[in-house]
């Protein structure tokens, strides 16, 4: 994730991580791992689609239109890179344009599906 942040930030990639860890743990983790992207925290049940994640670590790719493009669970992050590159090539929606409808998603690419 750190490498993707460095490599694709200028193309529009935004990364954030969500955890139930304490603020001090998140701060220590960011410092020790060199994380420069946002680390968010929740105390209760996370919102969808995050509450649907069956295991951690997990990575979800949400495109510029707000659509879920794929996801991986465990250490298979690199399987999402092809889909990431395709979504970064898409133009951002015009200012004020509607986002993807709530509940509408695309199917994850075959490379991102569990094997």
Domain ranges for the chain:
2-90
Domain 2-90: homologous superfamily in CATH: Glutaredoxin (3.40.30.10)
Checking if the pLDDT of 100 tops 60, the result is: no
Task: Tell me which of 100 and 88 has the higher pLDDT.
Answer: 88
As a whole number, mean pLDDT of residues 4-16 equals: 86
Task: Report the candidate in 26, 53, 47, 55 with the shortest Cα–Cα distance to residue 38.
Answer: 26
pLDDT tens-digit map of 25-64:
989 989 998 988 888 887 777 777 777 777 777 788 888 8
For residue 28, is the peptide bond before it cis, meaning its omega torsion is within 30 degrees of 0? no
Q: What is the pTM of this model?
A: 0.61
Who has greater pLDDT, 97 or 109? 97
């Amino acid at each position: 994730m750190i490498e993707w942040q460095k490599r694709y930030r200028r193309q529009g990639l935004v990364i954030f991580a969500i955890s139930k860890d304490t603020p001090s743990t998140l701060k220590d983790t960011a410092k020790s791992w060199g994380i420069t992207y946002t680390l968010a925290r929740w105390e209760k049940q996370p919102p969808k689609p995050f509450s649907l994640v069956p295991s951690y670590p997990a990575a979800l790719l949400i495109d510029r239109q707000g659509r879920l493009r794929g996801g991986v669970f465990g250490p298979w992050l690199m399987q999402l890179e092809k889909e990431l590159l395709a979504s970064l090539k898409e133009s951002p929606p015009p200012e004020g344009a509607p986002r993807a409808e709530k509940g509408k998603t695309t199917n994850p690419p075959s490379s991102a599906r569990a094997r």
